Structure 1
């Protein structure tokens, strides 16, 4: 099995690892609310849950029904 003869220095190790960078998340803009959100994620806006431009859950209606 191959193994290194000498220990690599910290600077050589850090040069190799310098290519791993954190990317900015891709954000989409909703058609209905004009709010930015992560792709493929549901999000809340004024107690309403949206996903792909559609309403999944309306929290305001449930509160009115219970009163």
Structure 2
């Protein structure tokens, strides 16, 4: 059975786990409407994606 030779300190364990945190979701300002939206997503208010009309605009 695998047994660690020495105890891993709380600091070293924390350093290993420092990359596991969740990042904040990024938002970009839409060029046409000025609303915030997720990158590479459709603007649901206007229905535009990369300059093309993809969905019908919401009222």
Structures share fold, TM-score greater than 0.5:
yes
Greater C-alpha Rg:
1
Equivalents in 2 of 1:56, 1:35: separation in Å?
A: 17
Runs (4+) of structure 1 exceeding 4 A deviation are none
* Residues 53 and 36 of structure 1: CA distance in aligned 2, closer, same or farther (over 3 Å): farther
TM-score with structure 1 setting the length: 0.55
Aligned length in residues:
57
1:52 Cα shift? Answer: 1.6
RMSD, matched Cα: 2.7
Structure 2, gaps ≥5 residues long: none
Show the counterpart of 1:51: 49
Higher helix share: 1
1:27–1:37 Cα contact (<8 Å) kept? yes
Structure 1, gaps ≥5 residues long: 61-67
